[in-house]
A and B are shown apart, each in its own frame.
Chain A
Amino acid sequence: MNTGLSWGGAAFMMVSWTVIISLISFCFGRMLGRGERPADRQ
């Protein structure tokens, strides 16, 4: 039975959180007008 958060558990948790927070930031950053849009390059 688990007795605490292991390094492996912390790594999986932090990577998951980071991926998701990055995705949300990327999407809303694009939507609110920041960053280059594919349409701008055409």
Chain B
Amino acid sequence: MTARQQREVWATKVGLVLALAGNAVGLGNLLRFPRQVAENGGGAFMVPYFISLILMGIPLMWVELAMGRRGGVYGYGTTPGMFGLLWRHPAARYVGALGILITSALVIYYTYIVSWCMGYAFFSAAGTYFGETSQTAMGSFFDGYLGVEKNQYFSGIGAAYFFFVATLLLVVWILSRGVVKGLETLARIAMPVLFVLGVALVARVLTLEPNPANPGWNVGAGLGFIWNPDLSRLGDGKVWLAAAGQIFFTLSLGFGAIQTYASYIREKQDLALTGLAAASVNEGVEVIIGGTLAIPAAVVFFGPMQTQAIASGGSFSLGFLSLPVVFQQMPFGQFFGSMWFLLLFLAGVTSSVAMAQPAMAFLQEDFRLTRPRAALVVGAVMLVLIQPVIFFQRYGFLDEMDYWVGTFGLVVMALIEVILFAWVFGMDRAWGEITRGAELAIPRVFYYVIKYVTPLFLVVILVVWTWQEAIGMLLMRGVVPEAVPYRWGARLLILGLFAAILFGVHKRWGGKPMDEMEHPS
């Protein structure tokens, strides 16, 4: 029996596209994108955004899909095995461990954030926070929920813990059901529901009455706040970097999750159209739904000046502090509030399971664990490692993890994989992998884009981010002294997790000649 026959494959093409789109669509589509547009030139932001999508986003999506499908053919669902197929050097497998590290570290705190959405969907439906009509009051509610302070609503971390465990159990249950019954079924249910919720909320925002106290605060002003172009910003390099960064995050590139999903694609099944379709669906949720909800609604109720401050306050401030105030002033606010947080929850949970799947594949394929047992191990590790994130959040534990694995690590991983694929494996063979079975004639220009432009794009992002942010983060500039030990703790957690994965890779492949990788079964 070949490795391919032993592995699961996606049951339907639409299911695969929805699963890939579900992986890409996340909280960033609905909270990060509108802030980025508003802060970086409005409509003008879309020029570098679409250029980045064409020159970096879609090519990288094809690269990751092709790499993953090729891995699956040889029975490998994770990047250590896949990198070994591209670069016939023993170090390749250890470099590939980065793909498991990023997804495994990300899924821990991302699932915690997703659980907040479940909690807030419940609080909205129950009207728990109704009466807290200022951002300051909602900030206090949020801090109480997270256990940062005790107040009239929360006396401890219990509620946050409850919703985290509920979300974790859901994720583990979906993972334990496998690729078709678990991941694909979730995508086929959650994505259409997400679209319906998103369109319904868009319709609600577009029909909002102007603010009675300030008639100038209306939907038109809200859309203008996001879309009115400041073309002079196109000459600003930061705007181009922001657009490239947004494309990177929104398509979930550099994670290692797309490769694992692609490893369950049949050997001669199309990748070109599948990748483009998944990216398009993600863009639809981001630009059409994400660009029409949070910021325009905030402008109607807070006005452009205060919305500017809200936007610069961060995604969580927009989603968990400002919008709950907006919903309270809306007819049927409890209903629309719970819809908003359910939308966020669905966007998040489809990404959570995708991030957990590489660890599942690693445990199933390399340690021969059964699927339910692998799901239990993943759940147990998440439950243990989330503890410091929950209890030390006020000291920036989550922020530290998010920067190194969820921001910087992604660009490093993407650069490594595109170099291995286009240069080490060879662009001719790489092009053959991407176009095999294609139901879409990819223009030949993308051969050169993948070989030259995409790596160059990534090098520029990596160099600038290192110069602008990474050095300061590494040296903990601006970090209050009492938070320093906790931030070191976050780094040690990442390093410890990496060491454990490297040990696993070594145990599986250490000392074995590269030739064995071609004959896994």
Q: Are A9 and B283 interface neighbours, CB within 8 A?
A: no
- Please determine whether B225 and A2 come into contact, CB atoms closer than 8 angstroms: yes
Assess A20 versus B280: contact at CB under 8 Å? Given A2-B224, A3-B224. Answer: yes
Given known contacts A2-B304, A9-B229, is B46 in contact with A27 (CB within 8 Å)?
A: no
Q: Does B439 contact A (CB under 8 A)?
A: yes
Q: Chain B residues near A10: list those with CB within 8 A.
A: 223, 227
Q: Are B227 and A23 in contact (CB under 8 A)?
A: no
**Which residues in B have their C-beta under 8 angstroms from that of A9?**
42-43, 223-224, 226-229
Interface range for B: 35 or more
**Measured CA separation A13–B219 after assembly (Å):** 14
Q: How far is the CB of B265 from chain A (nearest CB, A)?
A: 14
A5 and B273 contacting across the interface, CB-CB below 8 Å: no
B266-290 vs A, CB cutoff 8 Å, 1 = contact: the mask equals 0000000100110011011001100
Question: Smallest CB–CB gap between A12 and chain B, Å?
Answer: 3
What is the total number of residues of chain A having a CB less than 8 Å from a CB of chain B?
28
B17 at the interface (CB under 8 A from A): yes
Interface membership of chain A positions 6-18, coded 1 if the CB is closer than 8 angstroms to chain B and 0 otherwise? 1011111101110
Which single residue of chain A is at the shortest CB-CB distance from B275? A27
**B13 part of interface (Cβ distance < 8 Å):** yes
Other-chain contact of A1, B218, B220, B304, B440 (Cβ < 8 Å)? B304
Q: How distant is the Cα of A12 from the Cα of B229 in the complex, in angstroms?
A: 8
A24 B284 Cβ-Cβ under 8 A: yes
Contact of B229 among A8, A26, A28, A39 (CB under 8 A): A8
List of A residues within 8 angstroms of B50 by Cβ? 16, 19
Which B residues between 300 and 330 are near A, CB-CB below 8 angstroms? 304-305, 308
When distances are taken between beta carbons in the complex, the residues of chain B under 8 Å from A31 are 13-14, 17, 273, 277, 439
Give the docked Cα–Cα distance between A6 and B220 (Å): 9
Cross-chain contact of B441 among A1, A20, A26, A38 (Cβ < 8 A): A38
* CB <8 Å contact, A11 and B43: yes
- Decide if B280 touches A3 in the complex (CB within 8 Å): no
What DSSP secondary structure best describes chain A's contact surface? helix
CB pair A12–B43 under 8 Å, yes or no, is yes
Contacts of B13 in A (CB 8 A): 31
CB-CB nearest in chain B for A32: B14
B180 at the interface (CB under 8 A from A): no
Given contacts A4-B221, A12-B46, contact A30 B273 (CB under 8 A): yes
A1 CA / B287 CA spacing, docked (Å): 22
Contacts of B277 in A (CB 8 A): 24, 27-28, 31
Say yes or no: A20 contacts B287, CB within 8 Å. Answer: yes
Nearest-neighbor residue (CB-CB) of A2 within chain B: B224
User: At the interface, yes or no: B216 with Cβ under 8 Å from chain A?
Assistant: yes
CB-contact partner of B276 in A11, A12, A19, A27, under 8 A? A27
CB <8 Å contact, A12 and B439: no
Least CB distance from A17 to B in Å reads 6
A22 to chain B, nearest CB (A): 9
A16 to B43, CA, bound (A): 9
What distance in Å separates the Cβ of A20 from its nearest Cβ neighbour in chain B? 5
Q: B17 contacts which chain A residues (CB < 8 A)?
A: 27, 31
**How far apart sit A11 and B357, CA to CA, in the bound complex (Å)?**
41
Report which of A4, A16, A26, A28 forms a contact with B220, defined as CB distance below 8 A. Answer: A4
Closest B-chain residue to A12, C-beta based? B43
Decide yes or no whether B44 CB sits under 8 A from chain A: yes
Which residues of chain B from 81 to 100 have any CB-CB distance to chain A below 8 Å in the complex?
A: none
**Is B199 part of the binding interface, using a Cβ–Cβ cutoff of 8 Å?**
no
| A33 CA / B13 CA spacing, docked (Å) | 12
B242 CB–A CB distance under 8 Å: no
Determine the chain A residues whose CB is within 8 A of the CB of B221 once the complex forms. Answer: 2-5
Instruction: Give chain A residues whose Cβ lies under 8 Å from the Cβ of B439.
Output: 30-31, 37-39
Q: Determine if B234 is an interface residue (Cβ-Cβ < 8 Å).
A: no
Q: How far is the CA of A28 from the CA of B469 in the complex (A)?
A: 40
CA distance A28 to B277 in the complex (A): 7
Which residue of B223, B228, B283, B304 contacts A23 across the interface (Cβ within 8 Å)? Answer: B283
Using CB atoms, name the residue of chain B closest to A39.
B439
Question: Once the chains are docked, how many angstroms separate the CA of A27 from the CA of B14?
Answer: 11
A10, closest chain B residue (CB): B227
Which residues of B are interface residues toward A (Cβ below 8 A)?
13-14, 17, 42-44, 46, 50, 216, 218, 220-221, 223-229, 273, 276-277, 280-281, 283-284, 287-288, 291, 304-305, 308, 438-441
The 6 closest A-B pairs by CB, nearest first: A12-B43, A27-B277, A9-B227, A9-B228, A23-B280, A5-B224
Besides A2-B225, A12-B44, A21-B284, 16 other A-B contacts (C-beta < 8 A): A1-B304, A3-B216, A3-B224, A6-B224, A8-B228, A8-B229, A9-B223, A9-B226, A12-B229, A13-B227, A16-B46, A20-B288, A27-B280, A28-B277, A30-B439, A38-B441
Name A residues whose Cβ lies closer than 8 Å to a Cβ of B.
1-6, 8-13, 15-17, 19-21, 23-24, 26-28, 30-31, 37-39
